[in-house]
Structure 1
């Protein structure tokens, strides 16, 4: 029978990576509509800068952000407490399971000869 071993294909060696100067020359010589630059550009060009906000509007925004932060913080604290309780319940269930396993390990099976 013939050998089923696959022949190893020898790949050509990789070329050396370009130098920094070569990369800079390539980037600087690229046209503005080069796909590399146009695909990474934002869809819509940025518009004119927004006018400065009124101080009262900025204070209102900060107040709303603060309320949101406090609300999220309280929810996280409640979730942390609840998670702690569930971890403790799981630990206790694991202990009970381990005790039940130990009892079952000591109980002979029906019909087993000893």
Structure 2
């Protein structure tokens, strides 16, 4: 199972975990996320992230399409495979973000790609 969670509520029961944000979350000490993977290649590009923030509600569907396109790049495949293997090994993986509304963030898209629902 893939779990989607805000990084601010992360605890030791959420391992293994991936910080799926390009920027380090404000107010979180690095020691608090010790042992959490941080693979920036599987996060939305800076340009895409900034574009979404201009008008999140209006841009979200197009953001999802563009983010899936970024995740289909060959340069990202090794990191996605690493995450799938980690999930297979533990039968779980927690995807962490600082986003306030997870349902309208990049995490559902990343989850779908990892589950093989979207190529």
TM-score range, shorter chain: under 0.3
| Structure of greater Rg | 1
TM-score, normalised with respect to structure 2: 0.16
More strand by share: 2
Kindly indicate whether structure 1 or structure 2 has the higher relative contact order, using CA contacts under 8 Å at least 6 residues apart: 2
